Amino acid sequence: MQTASPTLDGWAVLDEPGEWEAFGRRVAGRDGWWESYLAIEGMHCAACTLTVEQALGEVPGVESVQVNGASGTARVVWTPHLSLPSAWLAALKRAGYGAVPAGDLLNSAPRMQAQRLMLWRWLVAGFCMMQVMMYAVPAYMAGPGEITPDIEALLRWASWVLTLPVVLFSCWPFFAAAWRDVRNGRVGMDVPVALGILIAFGASTAATFDPAGPLGKEVWYDSVTMFVFFLLSGRLLEQRLRDRTAGALEALMRRLPQTIERQEQDGEFRRVAVRRLAAGDLIRVLPGEVFPADGMVTTGETRVDEALLTGESRPLLRRKGEAVIAGSHNLSGMVHVRVERVGGETRYAGIVALMEQASMDKPHLAQVADRIASPFLLVVMAAAAVAGALWWSVDPGQALGVAVAVLIVTCPCALSLATPAATLAAAGALARKGVLVRRLQALESCASIDTVIFDKTGTVTEDRMGLVGTQVREGADRAQALALAGALSRHSLHPVSRAITAAAGDVGWTATHVTEIAGRGVQGNVGDDSVREARQLRLGSASFCGAPARQRDVQGIEVHLADEQGWLATFELDEATRQDAKPAVDALRELGLRVQLLSGDRGAAVKRLARRVGIEWAFGDCSPEDKLEHVRLAQQRGHLVAMVGDGVNDAPVLARADVSVAMGQAVPLAQAKSDFVVLGGNLQAVASLMHHARRTRYIVRENLAWAGIYNAVCVPLAALGYMPPWLAGLGMAASSLLVVANSARLARIR
């Protein structure tokens, strides 16, 4: 498997500082430190994760290493003053592993070569298994004395010859990995596998060469070939499923194009590498291509897909003078774009950084599983030795069969994959819906949340006024009154006039001779083609329009409309709520969650807004310290709190909450303190997050339960002699496969 890795000479190229940005970035706030990402080759189990972390962590200049076994990637924090990338590969090679820079994952040639080699090993094992099974059938079906000794010996020799390619070629990855672990003083999953294969093949070989010896009663060539075939089948299928689940994040992170057309000094467009772009360059982006940098459209118009970056699923129109962002897809037209930000300065790069950090995170259950994997394997090998010793006095051949079955039936891989496979699949699905997971551990916490607290300004509300009510005089039409007001309000830049204009939309009326009286309002003549004489209208304050005294307290801002007959209508304005605020609150309440609203605004305004969106508990006049205390008290009462906010004053309370969610327009400080980032500001994504976190917890528990029950049942059965080696191999392969397949259900959000 390591043959696909670059040589040490090839990695020497990566020691050049200009190459480091291709697979990493500078650590924010720490001069001289970098974080780089590697795709590790040769990892098969939890013990491999610990081995790789230790091998890289011992390299001088490497501060920390995080390895995710489900995605097969490593994050290395290092300083070039003491270490260079070529030293990492040397350390990995000494430990028996290979690696490629994670930035080169789009170059699939090495990976495809390794997959083809694995496929050939699987085909050889399958072909030989069928032939060996054909020779084993007579021995199983024939009665005593029906097969002569010479025919029995011939069948054994034929099976031995056919098993040799399986042991020498198909089993090579298991033997190489086992020898690597033993050489480094560790126990990985391939150690008991290799021991089981060698013991079964060695005992069968002894029986073939000496039929009259103590082991000559039975051979296990069929069990060896079936076990290898089943195990390779499981690993092939598992590899494909992991590409669909854990690989979902990788696909999202590696979507920028490799080349783009750039205008040169002679005015011609020529294709160049994206990494050669600089601010100020003019590029041409064709339909179907991905924008490689942030910039401004200078020529043409098109529709773009920004779903990954903003959560907006609908194609968005982009014309001359409008901004486009790296990572979005150009769907319809060719456009010229003036580059403004490239590389690590783009918004896309920030999103990739969040996703890569999240993919390296290990949930608590995964950390526990990794720690117990090696001790578990030691116990398994001890159990196999004890079972073999107890059976030896009964039948040496049966004793070896029991020991082999115990060795190969156990599967800590299923236990180790149970949590990371599920959480990575969930994180990939959420990312495609515009929700970035900054900490995988937060998914565990999110599933237990019982209280969701929203900040008001900028989270539930928009930065504008909105129409919340209309009163008209008797006999007047509400829609027509709003249209008349809209015709006048278009001639004023006052924020209240803008709110009326937005609420009225395309009115179809025309206002002429409009004058604006400071502090009072606007007046003018309003009419259309069907009206011979325009109506003289006034829009503004109550005194300006002769509005009657109200019988109730005014809760928001009121704007009045009058005609020649006097007062015509009153429009109530208040902070505009997001269109998805009420559906989001309703969805959270359907999940059984308590929803609250916190704000520094006046208490009356906060409670009024809460009623409009369906929030039962609302608290106003809250300073940042008050918000922090509110969350602390809720936690003291036993509640698990999720905080949703977007402002700089939300950073302390986001850090205090059990789970924190920052909206996409949040300031950087608020995002830095959050566990999740909702890119498009879609509040309904918060409810989707809560629901998907619960699904993730349920599937993780299913995975852990299956892994525990499988080992608890199968190990005793193998030790008691009720499970032949071939069936043990099938169970082991199926165990890991079932865990990954079950986790794949999370790759889609319902």
**Do 590 and 685 sit in the same domain of this protein?**
yes
**Do 86 and 126 sit in the same domain of this protein?**
no
Number of separate domains in the chain: 5
Q: Where are the alpha helices (DSSP H) in 533-579?
A: 542-545
Decide which of 544, 577, 610 is a domain's last residue.
577
Pick the most confident of 308-317, 489-498, 578-587.
Answer: 578-587
Choose between 365 and 176: higher pLDDT.
176
pLDDT class of 354 with cuts at 50, 70, 90: low
The first and second tokens of residue 556, run together, are 């928001």
**Do 309 and 243 sit in the same domain of this protein?**
no
DSSP reduced 3-state for 692: helix
pLDDT digits (tens, 9 = 90+) for 433-458: 778 787 777 888 888 899 999 887 76
**Do 368 and 334 sit in the same domain of this protein?**
no
Q: Which of 318-332, 369-383, 687-701 has the lowest mean pLDDT?
A: 369-383
**Do 242 and 145 sit in the same domain of this protein?**
yes
- In whole angstroms, give the CA distance from residue 67 to residue 47: 11
**Do 240 and 120 sit in the same domain of this protein?**
yes
Supply the CATH number for residue 673's domain. 3.40.50.1000
- In whole angstroms, give the CA distance from residue 618 to residue 524: 42
pLDDT recorded at residue 181: 77
- CA 128, distance to chain mean position in Å, is 41
pLDDT class of 373 with cuts at 50, 70, 90: low
**Does 258 have pLDDT greater than 80?**
no
**Do 232 and 379 sit in the same domain of this protein?**
yes
Decide which of 672, 694, 716 is a domain's last residue.
694
Question: Residue 90: how many CB atoms within 10 A of its CB?
Answer: 14
pLDDT digits (tens, 9 = 90+) for 159-193: 999 999 999 999 888 888 888 878 877 776 777 77
Q: Phi and psi for 263 in degrees, rounded to 5?
A: -75, 125
Q: How far apart are the first and last CA of the chain?
A: 37
198 lies in a domain?
Answer: yes
pLDDT recorded at residue 296: 93
CA nearest 118: which of 222, 247, 197, 235? 235
Supply the CATH number for residue 520's domain. 3.40.1110.10
349 lies in a domain?
Answer: no
**Do 204 and 242 sit in the same domain of this protein?**
yes
Decide which of 694, 710, 728 is a domain's last residue.
694
Beta bridge partners of residue 435, listed in sequence order = 678
Helix axes 396-409, 364-392, angle to 10 degrees: 180
Q: Specify the pTM.
A: 0.59
54 lies in a domain?
Answer: yes
Mean pLDDT of the chain: 79
pLDDT recorded at residue 124: 94
Beta strands in 589-630 (DSSP E): 594-598, 617-619
DSSP reduced 3-state for 538: strand
CB 425 within 8 A of CB 744: yes
Instruction: Specify whether 506 is catalytic.
Output: no
Q: Which helix (H) or strand (E) holds 687?
A: helix 684-719
Residue with tokens 């598992």: 238
Q: Phi and psi for 546 in degrees, rounded to 5?
A: 65, 40
Choose between 622 and 285: higher pLDDT.
285
pLDDT class of 355 with cuts at 50, 70, 90: low
CA nearest 204: which of 227, 172, 175? 227
List C-alpha distances in Å: 127 to 93, 132, 221, 550.
Answer: 33, 9, 13, 90
CB 356 within 8 A of CB 438: no
The first and second tokens of residue 269, run together, are 């467009």
pLDDT digits (tens, 9 = 90+) for 507-552: 778 888 888 887 788 998 888 755 556 788 999 888 888 888 665 5
pLDDT recorded at residue 747: 77
Give the pLDDT mean for 152-163: 90
pLDDT recorded at residue 241: 53
pLDDT recorded at residue 169: 93
Q: Where are the alpha helices (DSSP H) in 142-257?
A: 149-165, 172-183, 190-209, 221-244, 246-253
Amino acid present at 207: A
pLDDT class of 367 with cuts at 50, 70, 90: low
455 lies in a domain?
Answer: yes
**Do 407 and 532 sit in the same domain of this protein?**
no
526 lies in a domain?
Answer: yes
pLDDT class of 557 with cuts at 50, 70, 90: confident
Q: Where are the alpha helices (DSSP H) in 490-580?
A: 495-504, 542-545
DSSP 333-379: --EEEEEEE-GGGSHHHHHHHHHHHHHH---HHHHHHHHHHHHHHHH
pLDDT recorded at residue 248: 47
254 lies in a domain?
Answer: no
- In whole angstroms, give the CA distance from residue 425 to residue 31: 34
What's the DSSP call for residue 670?
Answer: H
Q: Give residues with Cβ within 8 angstroms of 422, minimum separation 6.
A: 696, 699, 700, 703, 742, 743, 746
- In whole angstroms, give the CA distance from residue 167 to residue 587: 57
The first and second tokens of residue 366, run together, are 């995964």
Choose between 666 and 641: higher pLDDT.
641
**Does 272 have pLDDT greater than 80?**
yes
- In whole angstroms, give the CA distance from residue 613 to residue 580: 9
347 lies in a domain?
Answer: no
279 lies in a domain?
Answer: yes
pLDDT recorded at residue 123: 93
% of the chain exceeding 90 in pLDDT: 10
**Do 242 and 130 sit in the same domain of this protein?**
yes
pLDDT recorded at residue 695: 92
pLDDT class of 107 with cuts at 50, 70, 90: very low
- In whole angstroms, give the CA distance from residue 187 to residue 628: 48
Supply the CATH number for residue 79's domain. 3.30.70.100
DSSP reduced 3-state for 595: strand
Give the pLDDT mean for 574-585: 81
Choose between 315 and 544: higher pLDDT.
544
Supply the CATH number for residue 280's domain. 2.70.150.10
pLDDT digits (tens, 9 = 90+) for 46-96: 567 778 888 888 888 898 888 876 567 788 889 888 888 888 888 888 888
Its domain, for residue 656, covers 432-461+578-694
**Do 124 and 242 sit in the same domain of this protein?**
yes
Give the pLDDT mean for 720-742: 77
Catalytic, out of 455, 563, 574, 580: 455
pLDDT recorded at residue 372: 61
pLDDT class of 1 with cuts at 50, 70, 90: very low
Residue with tokens 């009720």: 722
pLDDT class of 106 with cuts at 50, 70, 90: very low
pLDDT digits (tens, 9 = 90+) for 652-694: 777 788 888 888 665 454 455 678 888 767 888 899 999 999 9
pLDDT digits (tens, 9 = 90+) for 377-427: 677 778 778 887 888 877 777 777 788 778 777 766 666 667 777 887 888
pLDDT digits (tens, 9 = 90+) for 186-220: 776 777 778 888 888 888 888 888 887 776 677 87
Residue with tokens 């690696």: 99
CA nearest 427: which of 250, 306, 666? 250
**Do 150 and 221 sit in the same domain of this protein?**
yes
